[in-house]
Amino acid sequence: MVNLVGANIGERRWTAKRKEELYRSRVHAGRALAQAWEQAASRPQVLLQASAVGYYGDRGDQVLTEDAPPGEDFLARLCVDWEASTQPVEALGTRRVILRTGIVLSTRGGALPRLLLPIRLGVGGPLGSGRFYMPWIHIQDQVRAMLFLLDREDTRGPYNLCAPEPVTNAELVRTLGRLLRRPTWFRVPTWVLRLVLGEMAIALLASIRAVPKRLQEAGFAFQFPHLEDALRDLLTR
């Protein structure tokens, strides 16, 4: 079983009602799944439980492995409860793997198309200071890692699903500009992001220097460990 249920974090501002929707779509869904697990006559042997690197909160330049404690902001607390929602299946003998996923790079959705549009129009640039770390992973490596963790019976617990070389927002934008041959001079001030996005800007600007320590120790080999290679592959498809 692979549980990826959860409303889109970046779809709209985090009003009190929206935060409740984000919580219910993840935590309540996970609890319902755990209850169904208890009642099932035949249970899956493994559960991949979605989570996110937002679990760690804003940590600056600190390198974050799976042993790092959780953060204290809304997204971090949400991830803690999200992960805990399906924990009861472990008592029933199920192997449970937690996927703490970074920014999944794909041209079909997610963050990349939003980053590409202003750069292609010639008005792209870093967000805020641009110095915050953005853990990323190519969509192909995301799927490969999930299949790897499904098949490896010795894996369990949390795994950071992100490339081994996290980059700052400025580095990401600069690389995109170089590949597209477009300028990236138009920095978006932090105060503008906070004004437009409200509390959601905290998640956007959080510096999370997560690395896939446990995934690599388990023997997983990334097809796209370097950002420029990953972006070049995606942009030429």
Average pLDDT (201-218) is 93
Confidence of residue 235 (pLDDT cuts 50, 70, 90): very high
- For each of the domains in the chain, give its residue range(s) and CATH number, in order of start: 2-235 (3.40.50.720)
**pLDDT classification of 217: cutoffs 50, 70, 90:** very high
pLDDT tier at 203 (50, 70, 90 boundaries)? Answer: confident
pLDDT of residue 189: 86
What is the Cα–Cα distance from 178 to 183, expressed in whole angstroms? Answer: 8
pLDDT at 20 over 90: yes
